[in-house]
Amino acid sequence: MASFYFSFTEYDVLRKPLWVGFDNYTLLFSDPIFWKSLYITVTYALITLPLSVVAGIIFAMLLNQKITGISIYRTCFYLPSIVPLVASSIIWIWIFRGDDGGLLNGFLSKLNITGPLWLNDPKRALIALIIMNLWSLGNSVLIYLAGLQDIPKSLYEAADIDGAGFWNKLFLITIPMLTPTIFFNLIIGIISTFQYFIPAYVMTSGGPEYATTFYSLYTYQNAFEDFKFGYASSMAWILFLIIIVLTFFAFKGFADKVYYQGK
């Protein structure tokens, strides 16, 4: 709770906190970079959350097949999610390098396509971070896979007897029975996307032109680079309220659409 007190003070660690009341919050709402960081974070969340859900379910269904060596495929798919974020960010810096030395642009050059300056272009830097996010879906895919394996096989057998096709079984059995898992991953995704920090800090430092200045990154910059701990504390509490509100509306909007076995 100390941060709540500090959010009403001017504090730089070296001197005693100076009470300023609501000045930090007033300054915060008039700060254009604050609004830009919030816009970038919300944009990132609106794109990555649906993509993560759809891609996660697709990959989980592929990894749920009974084929030879499936355990190896599952391990390989999960490995990126246990690589430290700093290390994986450095790898992706090499992949997104703007010259032919970059893996992605080197591949595009072989197709006679001139690749963009991914991390140096304000219009593409955020896209690069979204692509990187899809690389590390191992955790959510593992949870979706567990949810798929928990669906009673008798439901699919009954559907086969009735002559149901793939799409009927997908939308009438798989998705409804998977809704608790989808809802869990959605809540975790909301919390994690609004705290997105390490890849943006390592790969772009918030640039170019504040194009990847996420909310958590801007909070960090105010606290540990500019030593405006009071201002950063007010940002932290605004983020806390945003996550609480979004989580509340997620429960109000989707909780009654989640199917639980036995109910």
Report residue 241's pLDDT band, with 50, 70 and 90 as the boundaries: very high
Q: Can you tell me the mean pLDDT for 52-58? A: 94
pLDDT beyond 90 at 107: no
Rounded percentage of the chain residues whose pLDDT exceeds 90: 71
Question: In whole angstroms, what is the distance from residue 69 CA to residue 253 CA?
Answer: 40
**CA end-to-end span of the chain:** 40
Q: Can you tell me the mean pLDDT for 24-51? A: 95
Rounded percentage of the chain residues whose pLDDT exceeds 70: 98
| pTM passes above 0.85 | yes
pLDDT (0 to 100) of residue 261: 65
pLDDT (0 to 100) of residue 8: 95
Q: Can you tell me the mean pLDDT for 173-191? A: 92
pLDDT (0 to 100) of residue 262: 56
Q: What is the mean pLDDT of the chain?
A: 91
Report residue 229's pLDDT band, with 50, 70 and 90 as the boundaries: very high
Q: CATH number, domain at 220?
A: 1.10.3720.10
Q: Is the dihedral of CA 122, 216, 250, 177 positive or negative?
A: positive
3-state helix, strand, coil in the chain (%, to 5): 70, 0, 30
Q: Can you tell me the mean pLDDT for 215-242? A: 95
More confident residue, 144 or 263: 144
> Is residue 55 a part of any domain in this protein?
yes
pLDDT (0 to 100) of residue 258: 82
pLDDT (0 to 100) of residue 76: 87
pLDDT beyond 90 at 20: yes
Q: Can you tell me the mean pLDDT for 41-68? A: 93
> Is residue 91 a part of any domain in this protein?
no
pLDDT (0 to 100) of residue 263: 56
Question: In whole angstroms, what is the distance from residue 37 CA to residue 48 CA?
Answer: 16
- 192-204 pLDDT, tens digit each: 999 999 999 999 9
Report residue 215's pLDDT band, with 50, 70 and 90 as the boundaries: very high
H-state helical runs in 7-137: 23-29, 32-62, 70-78, 85-95, 103-110, 125-135
> Is residue 114 a part of any domain in this protein?
no
pLDDT (0 to 100) of residue 100: 66
- 108-125 pLDDT, tens digit each: 888 888 888 899 999 999
DSSP class of 256: G
> Is residue 88 a part of any domain in this protein?
no
Range of the domain at 158: 2-67+138-257
Number of structural domains, the chain?
A: 1
> Is residue 246 a part of any domain in this protein?
yes
> Is residue 235 a part of any domain in this protein?
yes
HSE, side-chain direction, 13 A CA sphere, residue 208: 10
> Is residue 19 a part of any domain in this protein?
yes
> Is residue 146 a part of any domain in this protein?
yes
